[in-house]
Structure 1
Amino acid sequence: MEKTLIDESASCACGTVTLSARGPVLSMLLCACLDCRKASGTAHSTITIMQEKSVAISGETKGFARTANSGATITRHFCPRCGTPLFARTSRAPEIVLIATGVFDNPDWFTPNQLIFARSHLDWDHLPEAIARHQTYRPKD
């Protein structure tokens, strides 16, 4: 499968924190776990996964760490000034950054190919019929 390459800018609502992402996107997905629903304030989060070396973050962020159902620690980072959710890191894969896709200035390239934690997906959140749905995490290849 061909990787999507991006060279994109992102920022929080007030512009205090900026992010640049340059390189291959590892995955584009939706997550309907309860934690992501609470963090996004809607029925699912929209996540772009990239290698840490492909992402540059400028400005101070605050993080909130918690233990996920998997036992891993997930730390969600946000702007301490305006509260915009920006990105997350997980102890399951410390070499990656999970970027909240909505912070990109122009995310027209984003095409989600899977929904994880479909077991807690809400019926009123209509998604494309063809999207792969996994009850928890996607099985390892």
Structure 2
Amino acid sequence: MREERLATCACGKLRVTALGNPSTVSLCHCLACQRRTGSVYGIAAFFERDRIKVEGEAKSFSRPSDSGHPVTFHFCPRCGSTVFWEPQRKADFIAVAVGSFADPHFPAPSQAVHEECRHAWVRAVI
């Protein structure tokens, strides 16, 4: 049986169950991810759409990515946590915020993108 991974918002009302390991874990330094997370980068785990189950109410917000392709973010209407998003350029995948898994043993990022926006004091980890 494949391992199930549970990601939740801060209040636990929006939940994503993912089966197995992610296809990719990506660390993004873009300014939009910095604004979305309130941190200096965002980290997304990409799972094939058919390996994801979403439970609970979510609100959504769409914006163009830095490459110009739309991305729709889904967040909890109660606590505001962004738990997952759908990148149009990768329509067969759902991206889940790695921090939502609250698992210190979660697989590390395999790639870093938009490093031109990386804060000078943040060391490259990939």
TM-score by length of 1: 0.83
Q: Which residue of 2 aligns with 1:48?
A: 45
Q: 2:108 aligns with which of 103, 107, 111?
A: 111
1:57-109 Cα shifts (integer Å, max 9, x gaps): 10011111011231210111110100011011111111101110000142413
Question: Which deviates more, 108-117 or 43-52?
Answer: 108-117
Q: Which residue of 1 aligns with 2:91?
A: 94
The DSSP-based 3-state class of the residue aligned with 2:36 is helix
> How far did 1:115 drift?
0.8
Q: Which has the higher contact order (CA 8 A, sep 6+)?
A: 2
Q: Which residue of 1 aligns with 2:20?
A: 23
**By percentage of residues, which structure has more helix?**
2
Structure 2 contact 48–93 (Cα < 8 Å) conserved? yes
Paired residue total: 125
* Structure 2 gaps, min length 5: none
Letter in 2 for 1:26: S
* Structure 1 gaps, min length 5: 132-141
Letter in 2 for 1:57: V
Cα distance in 2 for residues equivalent to 1:11 and 1:86: 7
Percent of matched pairs sharing the same residue = 30
Structure 2 contact 5–20 (Cα < 8 Å) conserved? no
